Structure 1
Amino acid sequence: MKALGLVEISGLVPAINALDGMLKTADVEFVTWEKKLGGRLVTIIVTGTVSSVSEAVDYVANMKDIKLAAHAVIPSPHEELDKLIKMSTEKYKYLNGGE
């Protein structure tokens, strides 16, 4: 598995804005997201090379118009994390009609 980047943001609209910036700023791929508290807290997960993921996460960390709750870059994620990510991805696909 490539590196993982996670950002946890307060608010659905700021999270979508942050994801858009991450994808435009760095060569990363959107993996999944988790919405909690009715979308008031959103975790976005991206993957790519360590440098690309770091660039994307740094981009969000430096955004002035969002409330960043937490962020992390995991350079070489343990294979057990892959199971967690796949569960989230499958849930996301199910909730969006199998897309």
Structure 2
Amino acid sequence: MESYEAIGVVEAQHFTTALELVDEMCKTSHVQLLGAEKYLGGRLVSLIVAGSIANVTAAVEAAREVCARKPSNPLKMSLVIPKPHVEIMKFIVPTREAEEAEAVEVPEALIQETVARDAVEQTARGPEPKAQRTKVHEPKAQETVTQEVAVQQKEAQQEVEPEDATEGTKTSSPRKNTKKRK
């Protein structure tokens, strides 16, 4: 974790004003933007900058001047914290590190390779029955699913069997004899 001589916090109304303040603070002095948080849908924005004590003080003063020139003075709060404690920096910086960790990109070639390999494996195995695709965590439920698959296979065999030569009748599945519901 990087340590800074000072951090400056500026809180202003409206997102566009906050953007203007960040621009002015970074142009006025050599500071680094550590974070920005929006509240109330962007109607209240907190900006945190860091650098040397002189640079942070100059940046915060520049933000105060920009807001003082506006008719309704959108500046709500501003302060400079010289020599911030390590615990304060742990509170501010992890959000930035977490965002950078989330921004890790997976190469497109790796994604395509994985998808192609999965497709080849699926083709080699053939289509799976619907009951086998469902994930069941309980052993009793697993047995029930297996029994249901066996019943479905028996019904399928009964529907396919040809006419019985001795009796001259067709074997019918139980589904065909049910009444239609309205």
Same fold (TM over 0.5): yes
Is the strand fraction higher in 1 or 2? 1
Q: Where has structure 1 moved over 3 Å in runs of 4 or more?
A: none
What TM-score does the superposition give when structure 1 sets the normalisation length? 0.88
Equivalent in the alignment of 2:18: 15
Q: Identify which of structures 1 and 2 has the higher relative contact order when contacts are C-alpha pairs closer than 8 Å and 6+ apart.
A: 1
Equivalent in the alignment of 2:65: 62
Shift of 1:90: 4.1
Match of 1:98 among 82, 103, 111: 103
Q: Distance in 2 between matches of 1:26 and 1:68?
A: 19
Is 2:29–2:59's contact at 8 Å kept on the other side of the alignment?
yes
Equivalent in the alignment of 2:159: none
Shift of 1:86: 1.9
Is 2:11–2:46's contact at 8 Å kept on the other side of the alignment?
yes
Please tell me whether Structure 1 or Structure 2 has the larger radius of gyration of its CA atoms: 2
Q: Distance in 2 between matches of 1:40 and 1:98?
A: 27
Which residue identity is paired with 1:20?
D
Match of 1:30 among 28, 33, 53: 33
For residue 77 of structure 1, give the secondary structure of its aligned residue in structure 2.
coil
Shift of 1:83: 1.3
Is the helix fraction higher in 1 or 2? 2
Shift of 1:87: 3.3
Is 2:10–2:77's contact at 8 Å kept on the other side of the alignment?
yes
For residue 84 of structure 2, give the secondary structure of its aligned residue in structure 1.
coil
Is 2:34–2:93's contact at 8 Å kept on the other side of the alignment?
no
CA-atom RMSD in angstroms = 1.7
Q: Does 1:43 align with 2:77?
A: no
Equivalent in the alignment of 1:81: 88
Is 1:9–1:69's contact at 8 Å kept on the other side of the alignment?
yes
What TM-score does the superposition give when structure 2 sets the normalisation length? 0.49
Q: Distance in 1 between matches of 2:61 and 2:95?
A: 23
Which residue identity is paired with 1:72?
L
Alignment coverage as a number of residue pairs: 96
Q: Distance in 2 between matches of 1:48 and 1:78?
A: 14
Match of 1:52 among 41, 46, 55: 55
Q: Return 5+ residue gaps in structure 2 as ranges.
A: 105-182
Which residue identity is paired with 1:15?
A
